[in-house]
Amino acid sequence: MKKPIFTLLFIIPCILLYAQDTLPRFSVKNVGNNRIVVDWINTFETVKQISIQRSTDSLRNFKTILTVPDPTIPQNGFADTRAPAGPLFYRLYILLDKGTYLFSDAKRPYWDTSHAATVAAAAAAEAIKREMIAIDKSSLTLPVIPNDPVNGAPVVVNNLPKADLWVPSKFVYTFKDGYIRINLPEDEKKYSIKFFTSDDKPLFELKDIKERSFKLDKANFYKSGWFKFELYEDGELKEKNKFFLPKEF
C-alpha cells in the first residue's frame, strides 16, 4: 500500500461502494451539500498509483488534490468537500507497471438528481421520526403502585427497556476539533484498524501502523453520523467500537 502523506495527519479518502465506470473511465457527480464525488472500478492487474486532479480548465492547470493510499482496491472513490466555486474539471493520473502511466479524459461533474432526491427523502423521514419520538415522550404515562410499604407514597414503575450504554474508545475517538484521534499503546506490537459505516459496509483500513499517536481528517468520512471500527493487535481483535462525527462539513 502506498504510504499516505501526513504530518501526524493521515489523508485517506472515504471508499464509496457504488458501481461505476471501469478505469480509465470514471464518474464525477455533484451530490449536493458542496460535495463532488469521484469514483471508479479498477480492473488493471497492476496499478501503482492513482491520483485525483482538479482544474478550472479542461486542458491545463490540473493540480493533484489526493493520491489514494491503496490504488489496487477494485471499487474506490473520493468525496471532494473543498471544491472552489465556478466551473470544475476532474481527471485521474494512473501509474501502471514499469513506469507506464496515463491520464483519463477530463470530466465535469453532473448533477446527481437521484441522489439528491434520496437525501431529501431521508431528511424528511428523519424529521418525521423526531416528531413521533417527541409525541411519544409527551404522552408517556407510567404505571403507579399506590402503596409504598416503606414511605407510604406512590411508586412510579418504569418498565421501558433500558438503553445500551455506549462507552467511547480510549484508542479511537472523536476530538473536539472534529478530527478522529488515534492513541495506541507504546509497545512493540503491530496494530491495524478497519473502518466501517454504521451498517457495516467497509470503508478503509490502516495496516501495520507505525505512529502511536496521530489524527485522521474528518474528510476521510463522506458524511456525518456514526462509524464503526475494529482495532487489531498482532492480528487479534483488540476492540470493536464506534464513534460519532458531528455535522460540520
Q: Residue 127 has what pLDDT?
A: 54
pLDDT of residue 134: 55
Q: What is the pLDDT of residues 204-228, one digit of tens each?
A: 999 999 889 988 887 778 788 899 9
Model confidence at 74: pLDDT above 70: yes
Q: Which of 15-19, 39-43, 143-147 has the lowest mean pLDDT?
A: 15-19
Q: State the amino acid at position 21 in one-letter form.
A: D
Question: pLDDT tens digit string along 22-72?
Answer: 899 999 998 887 889 999 999 888 899 999 999 998 888 899 999 988 888
Distance CA 68, CA 45 (A): 17
pLDDT of residue 228: 94
What is the separation of C-alpha 124 from the centre of its chain, rounded to a whole number of angstroms? 22
Domains in the chain, please, with CATH?
9-111 (2.60.40.10), 172-245 (2.60.40.1930)
